[in-house]
Structure 1
Amino acid sequence: MVKNISNPDYIFESSWEVCNKVGGIYTVLSTRAKTLQDMLHDRIIFIGPDFWQENESPYFKEDKELFCSWKKKAEAEGLNVRIGRWTIPGEPIAILVDFKPFFEKKNTIYTWLWDKYQVDSLHSYGDYDEASMFSYAAALVVESFYNDNIAPDKRVIYHGNEWMTGLGLLYINNKLPQIGTVFTTHATSIGRSIAGNMKPLYDYLFAYNGDQMAGELNMQSKHSIEKQTAFNVDCFTTVSEITANECRELLDKEVDVVLPNGFDNSFVPQPTVFAKKRKAARKKLLDLANALLGDNLDDETMIISTSGRYEFRNKGIDVYIESMNRLLRCKDLNRNVLAFIEVPGWVGEPRQDLIERIKSGKSFDTPLEVPQITHWLHEMSHDNTLGMMKYFDMHNHKNDKVKVIFLPCYLDGNDGVLNMSYYDIVLGNDLCIYPSYYEPWGYTPLESIAFKVPCITTDLAGFGLWVNSVKGGYSDIEDGVKVVHRTDYNYSEVADAIKDTVTEFSKFTKQDVDKVRKRAEELSKKALWSGFIKYYMEAYNIALNRAEQRKENRI
């Protein structure tokens, strides 16, 4: 039985995405940080990789007065760190570590890892070495800081996210057994690989052997570090029930706690400015579209989008394009539809012809060349999105009621065309669509409804399953989120369900839409970190209990 130990005195949390905006884990950590900071008051310390060195980072502000005496000791121990604040709500302490000096020791480190934990690093390639050396460096930071600053009677947690932090977690487990370790896999490396390699994941999940599949898909090293970390930490966690099933079948390990991803809505505009920002976003999107298409789409146009990482199948970009193609031929559609695909591709440069048209403020009645894309790509002919649109002859013809535009870059406010951040743009949508095939949680639909934009997702996304659990059945668009049933083989049915839902939504009156938007916002408030942080407290409690038991066993 787990006894209730009070909250940790210190939490160290490491991730490749601390002060490094890459994907969804950045959102998880950066939105949760304020809740933990409010609880621990600078005793939550994030550790990330230092890519910026002496350059200024948009996500990190150095404070040379913070722990300056420890920094000198760390440098004497061979650790090059920068200490400061992560520039997010709560402004928690962040330590960025230069991991490159450890590459020359990697064979020694990997030998230790094999001797102690039988982790197979022989088959490593690509980002494995880089992630592992960061993980090792992060653990040395924790060890050094703990020995210099924290009394032995303090309750301390080290929390690592994804396989990239596994080596460090195992190091802490071995060197500082009094620290409770928590490991969160946001998606198993082998599950993501199975899905990304076009293999059916769900119908055959019970039959897959994770070790065997790792060999087949050349994933031995990542799978090995992930599996051994799961078995050796004090508390193994993941983000949804659907990924917990993956862990059970592919890692042969039950999770101790499911940690659903919450949200901090402090940066959602207040009602006094929301309408103004929404109007500005819609104008920006319509001006862009009209300049590109040589059209005159007005504010009655239904604006929809999908966004996220460029995982063509896993994120459902393929089925999104398929559904838009079917919508093109739908006679029941009541409004013009402007559909954006906002995923970062191998972007070259913003289109100067498009920028000039937008700046001119004039109206045009002829489209630009390739009126499906806002930025040139390095390899236009090899892009999946453009290729599928070409296959379907989706060229945004003048009389098409559905126009699809590919925005192939990070919307960070500096893309050269829109020059607005994603959060300033998403609220201009009428509907967002995320028909994921592989999605352990799904931040984009949660962000969508937080900005009062109803959305479509699937029950292969952890978020979709959570929405259904809140309703007690399949959620529909009238509830703020439409959850579509998706399997390994019902691609066509999913495309039809999306087409039908968009058509249905196009017929809603203004009063209907207002009700749906309100329900979407209300649903998002049930996923705030203030409600979900209790699951983290449970995980910390389990880890601290097990660390305490180790102490007692040593006495």
Structure 2
Amino acid sequence: MAETSNNNANAVKVNTSNSLLTELAWEVCNQVGGIYTVIRSKVPSMIQTWGDCYCLIGPYFHHNAQAEFEPTDDYSGPFGQAVLKMRNMGFEVHYGHWLVTGNPLVVLLNPYSVYDRLGEIKYNLWHHHHIPTPGHDDLLNQVEAFGFLAKTFLQQLVQPDVTDKNVIAHFHEWMVGPAIPELRRERTNLRIIFTTHATLLGRYLAMNDPSFYDNLTSVNWLQEAIHFNIETAVKLERAAAHGAHIFSTVSDVTARECMFLLERIPDVILPNGLNIQRFIALHEHQNLHQKYKDKIHQFVMAHFFQSYPFDLDQTLYFFTSGRYEYRNKGFDVTLEALARLNYRMQQAGIKKTVVMFFITKQPYHSVHPGVLQSRVMMEEIRETCVAIQKEIGKKLFYAAASSTDFKLPSLREFVDDYWQLRYRRTLQSWKTHNLPSVVTHNLINDSTDEILHFLRSSNLVNNAHDRVKIVYHPDFVSVTNPLFAMDYGQFVRGCHMGVFPSYYEPWGYTPLECIARGVPAVTSDLSGFGDYVMGKMEGKAGKGIFVVKRRNRSFDDAANQLADYLFEYVQYSQRDRIALRNQVESSSEEFDWKNLTRYYNKAYQLAMEKPVY
């Protein structure tokens, strides 16, 4: 298996004075998924080590780049010189800085600008590497066009009149992989590293095979790739993995997957981290938790209190989030554990309430009118109460100043009939005997949605007697959201726990983002993050990072483990929960890029030790 020793990794120092490093990713200045977080958050640590010898390369899409890219007219360095050579050859190349922390140099290549050469590009991939490409798939067209441009840029960069330094090219994921086999075929003078963050075929198989890990050793990769209609992408990924001088992935969990689906053992593991400095709230994390919890309270009152009330001081907020992959993301295990938790809390007579949020993305027609109307009417009730409060305040002060008996007068006498009537009518029109909806939007696929099917079939539908309430929000949380009016990071800080017992998760940023904000999190040993916690953080796994053991365990066993942990947590006192938050925040330092880039240094050193050809 790949080298992941802390001692070995810590000892590595890369000679940056005689090297240039380029990192290529589809999500440079182009946010579409988790790789964006990896690349962006790592930049400050890379700049600290490499300075101007570091440059990112990605695709140019105007609608995304205009908010994140700032062009420069300084072409004095080797990257700028290579850009000028590309432009002299007639290619469209954008050069400047990525507007993120660290402000790194960036080269953006427009794949559409060479669509007139797609026939040639596809012919070479087939003729040289036996990789076929259908003509109607625009993503594949973009990917292969970008690969041609990336290959051309790197070949200009290594020219002796541009630089005499060693050049390392680090490719992330299959979308930028098409350049690799051609670079190796043309014997380009640079070292190549390829990182797969999750094999494409593995993700498809895990979504469709409940025994994915058991069947992994016997998978016919080509047959399955053809079955899922991803043959070209899988062959591009395999060509990149086998063409790289150094092959890597993000976790031991995914390394095993690579052995059987890509048929190459990774040379090194590159765990994902965060720029923890961005999340540090010094000693304010408890105050921030209270601040954003109060905002969640506002939503919960609007959503639930029109049907029935419960004590918000005895309410806990759990959540899960991410791409809608019902089994892969562990939504199925989470729901089963919540149903068991609901029963146990009722049987034990626990008076606390758990509100569980499912934050994901599913197609919908609109926000549920009743949910939105309740939120609006809640604001009207608030405005009415504020007006009454002001009126009472003035009259109470006058009565107190002029009083001779020192008794508190009847406050109702201070409210005009208009406000009393408005107060009564507003409440009467708001209150209902209907149960609060478990879903906040009108889903397009309501009848076939797996989350809704479980909730309805298990009668976990926000009954008044349920101790566990459900809010399924099929859209991502943002400040423009009409229901929450807060961004995702604020929402996370306001919750008590994140729940992510994934079945398939090559790394898993969602629990890591929780602990960076001082929020306890659940993960699983089938996620790269959970596997790292168990292997590298001995003794810390119990400090607010709970790992559900799913490897070689049944679904029922996993659901019981999670239900046990949640049941234990709901019995914690407020003092216990605050102590746990403090422990969680202190453990987040382990995942700062300033610590984890040591693994990248290991990869770069290994690459430099390889012969170029």
TM-score, normalised relative to structure 2: 0.82
- What do the CA deviations read for 1:363-411 (whole angstroms, capped 9, x no partner)? 7543888622334434433433233322323321233211111222233
Distance 1:238 1:82 in 2: 29
What residue in structure 2 maps to residue 342 of structure 1? 359
- 1:356 paired residue among 359, 366, 376: 376
- 1:15 paired residue among 12, 15, 25: 25
Question: 1:64: how far off?
Answer: 4.0
What residue in structure 1 maps to residue 480 of structure 2? 414
Distance 1:145 1:413 in 2: 42
What residue in structure 2 maps to residue 170 of structure 1? 181
Is it true that 1:427 corresponds to 2:460 in the alignment?
Answer: no
What residue in structure 2 maps to residue 82 of structure 1? 94
Question: 1:42: how far off?
Answer: 3.1
Question: 1:248: how far off?
Answer: 0.8
What residue in structure 2 maps to residue 25 of structure 1? 35
What residue in structure 1 maps to residue 204 of structure 2? 193
Identity %: 29
- What do the CA deviations read for 1:84-138 (whole angstroms, capped 9, x no partner)? 3323221222233221233343232122123333334359847333333333333
What residue in structure 1 maps to residue 463 of structure 2? 397
Distance 1:219 1:341 in 2: 30
What residue in structure 1 maps to residue 69 of structure 2? 61
> Given the superposition, is the C-alpha separation of residues 74 and 316 from structure 1 closer, same or farther in structure 2, using an over 3 Å criterion?
same
Distance 2:109 2:521 in 1: 39
SS, match of residue 493 in structure 1: helix
Contact kept in structure 1, 2:436 and 2:462, CA below 8 Å: no
> Given the superposition, is the C-alpha separation of residues 399 and 84 from structure 1 closer, same or farther in structure 2, using an over 3 Å criterion?
farther
Correspondence list, 1:259-270, <5 A:
259-270=270-281
Contact kept in structure 2, 1:354 and 1:374, CA below 8 Å: no
What residue in structure 2 maps to residue 381 of structure 1? 447
Correspondence list, 1:299-314, <5 A:
299-314=313-328
Amino acid at match of 1:197: N
SS, match of residue 479 in structure 1: coil
SS, match of residue 303 in structure 1: strand
Distance 1:490 1:123 in 2: 43
What residue in structure 1 maps to residue 420 of structure 2? none
Distance 2:73 2:441 in 1: 43
What residue in structure 2 maps to residue 48 of structure 1? 58
Distance 2:546 2:299 in 1: 28
- 1:520 paired residue among 551, 569, 584: 584
What residue in structure 2 maps to residue 244 of structure 1? 255
Distance 2:363 2:266 in 1: 36
Contact kept in structure 2, 1:291 and 1:367, CA below 8 Å: no
Contact kept in structure 1, 2:479 and 2:487, CA below 8 Å: yes
Distance 1:537 1:56 in 2: 29
TM-score, normalised relative to structure 1: 0.90
Task: Give me the CA root mean square deviation.
Answer: 2.8
Structure 1 range deviating more: 62-71 or 319-328: 62-71
What residue in structure 1 maps to residue 597 of structure 2? 533
- What do the CA deviations read for 1:181-211 (whole angstroms, capped 9, x no partner)? 1100011111111101134111122222323
Contact kept in structure 1, 2:303 and 2:375, CA below 8 Å: no
What residue in structure 2 maps to residue 497 of structure 1? 561
Question: 1:259: how far off?
Answer: 0.5
Distance 1:81 1:375 in 2: 42
Is it true that 1:322 corresponds to 2:336 in the alignment?
Answer: yes
> Given the superposition, is the C-alpha separation of residues 161 and 357 from structure 1 closer, same or farther in structure 2, using an over 3 Å criterion?
farther
Amino acid at match of 2:373: D
Structure 1 range deviating more: 126-135 or 157-166: 126-135
What residue in structure 1 maps to residue 544 of structure 2? 480
> Given the superposition, is the C-alpha separation of residues 366 and 460 from structure 1 closer, same or farther in structure 2, using an over 3 Å criterion?
same
The structure number with the bigger radius of gyration is 2
Question: 1:499: how far off?
Answer: 1.5
Structure 1 range deviating more: 369-378 or 423-432: 369-378
SS, match of residue 454 in structure 2: helix
- What do the CA deviations read for 1:149-169 (whole angstroms, capped 9, x no partner)? 831x21211111111111022
Contact kept in structure 2, 1:350 and 1:415, CA below 8 Å: no
Structure 1 range deviating more: 25-34 or 488-497: 488-497
- 2:510 paired residue among 417, 430, 444: 444
SS, match of residue 41 in structure 1: helix
Question: 1:303: how far off?
Answer: 0.6
- 2:612 paired residue among 544, 550, 553: 550
Contact kept in structure 2, 1:5 and 1:541, CA below 8 Å: yes
- 2:521 paired residue among 455, 478, 483: 455
SS, match of residue 612 in structure 2: helix
> Given the superposition, is the C-alpha separation of residues 100 and 56 from structure 1 closer, same or farther in structure 2, using an over 3 Å criterion?
closer
Contact kept in structure 2, 1:62 and 1:82, CA below 8 Å: no
Contact kept in structure 2, 1:183 and 1:230, CA below 8 Å: yes
Contact kept in structure 2, 1:32 and 1:264, CA below 8 Å: yes
Amino acid at match of 1:464: G
Distance 1:268 1:145 in 2: 36
Correspondence list, 1:152-171, <5 A:
153-171=164-182
Distance 1:4 1:516 in 2: 36
Distance 2:160 2:294 in 1: 55
Q: Hey, which of these two has a bigger chunk of helix by percent?
A: 2
SS, match of residue 218 in structure 1: coil
Amino acid at match of 1:253: R
Structure 2: where are the runs of 5+ without partners?
A: 1-7, 383-426
Distance 2:441 2:52 in 1: 42
SS, match of residue 403 in structure 1: strand
SS, match of residue 562 in structure 2: helix
Question: 1:251: how far off?
Answer: 1.2
How many residue pairs match? The answer is 543
Contact kept in structure 2, 1:173 and 1:179, CA below 8 Å: no
> Given the superposition, is the C-alpha separation of residues 368 and 416 from structure 1 closer, same or farther in structure 2, using an over 3 Å criterion?
farther
Distance 1:5 1:285 in 2: 47
Question: 1:471: how far off?
Answer: 4.3
Structure 1 range deviating more: 132-141 or 340-349: 132-141
SS, match of residue 444 in structure 1: helix
Distance 1:354 1:257 in 2: 53
> Given the superposition, is the C-alpha separation of residues 115 and 56 from structure 1 closer, same or farther in structure 2, using an over 3 Å criterion?
closer
SS, match of residue 94 in structure 1: strand
> Given the superposition, is the C-alpha separation of residues 271 and 4 from structure 1 closer, same or farther in structure 2, using an over 3 Å criterion?
closer
Question: 1:534: how far off?
Answer: 1.1
Contact kept in structure 1, 2:204 and 2:228, CA below 8 Å: yes
Structure 1: where are the runs of 5+ without partners?
A: none
Distance 2:93 2:476 in 1: 28
- 1:466 paired residue among 529, 532, 537: 532
Question: 1:173: how far off?
Answer: 3.0
Contact kept in structure 1, 2:285 and 2:518, CA below 8 Å: no
- What do the CA deviations read for 1:291-347 (whole angstroms, capped 9, x no partner)? 122354514311111111111111111221222222222223452001111112224
Question: 1:253: how far off?
Answer: 0.7
Contact kept in structure 2, 1:124 and 1:221, CA below 8 Å: no
What residue in structure 2 maps to residue 6 of structure 1? 15
Contact kept in structure 1, 2:143 and 2:176, CA below 8 Å: yes
Question: 1:460: how far off?
Answer: 0.5
